[in-house]
Amino acid sequence: MRSLAEAGLRPVDSRASDGRARSVLEIGCATGALLSSFAEAGWNAKGVEVGASMAAYARATFGLDVTAGTIEAADLSADRYDVVIATHLIEHLNDPRSFIAEARRTMRPDGRLYLVTPNADGFQARLKGARWRSAIRDHLYLFSVRTLRAMLRSEGMSVEYTGTWGGWPAGMRPAFLKRPVDAAAKLTGQGDVMVIRAVPRRDAAIGG
């Protein structure tokens, strides 16, 4: 996914500085398409997916280690993963704070958390209001960069990188505005979707 690459995450970076294979955990890995690219590149890959049929597909098709359920119920080891990924997941959760706390618990002290989620403070959200494409019942929480940064900090995380993309709605007239508006929204941080890279704060205990 290009947004993750722009945030500094690439499957080819599979080795840590000490030569060991890096470990990646994807929460909400669906059928395992993204996670499989890391496994194929040599990462120790683990997935968690609440949809049992999708988790079974990821195991059968890609040979991935995927647990069906939530991150809280998956009984994951602490301080294990170099990278934790959740794309278009946090907005669907009943308790996003619990998710962030558990993700942090599983990460190595020098690990990275990558989140992709709609940007409630973006140009498109402001333009469309209640008709914004992400203002749907399946999305229980919608974040701006500011509110997600605050939640991460409250759970002992510090944001290293934020990027956004998408501006003019696809199919909306006049169509010629899409390219310049998309570019401007990305440049100013007002894109429709955001990616955030966060790290554990060394000055914060888990849960504080």
Structural domain boundaries, residue 71: 2-115+141-164+194-200
Tell me, yes or no, whether 34 lies in a domain.
Answer: yes
Tell me, yes or no, whether 103 lies in a domain.
Answer: yes
Indicate the pLDDT class of residue 207, thresholds 50, 70 and 90: very low
Tens digits of residue pLDDT in 14-71: 999 899 999 999 999 999 999 999 999 999 999 999 999 999 999 999 999 999 999 9
Tell me, yes or no, whether 186 lies in a domain.
Answer: no
Tens digits of residue pLDDT in 145-177: 999 999 999 999 999 999 999 988 888 889 999
Instruction: Tell me how far apart the alpha carbons of residues 89 and 124 are, in angstroms, rounded to a whole number.
Output: 20
**Do the Cβ atoms of 99 and 71 come closer than 8 Å?**
yes
DSSP string, 54-84: HHHHHHHHH--EEEES-TTTS-PPTT-EEEE
The domain that holds 38 is classified in CATH as 3.40.50.150
Tell me, yes or no, whether 129 lies in a domain.
Answer: no
Record the pTM.
0.94
3-class SS shares of the chain: helix, strand, coil, % to 5 = 35, 25, 40
Tell me, yes or no, whether 44 lies in a domain.
Answer: yes
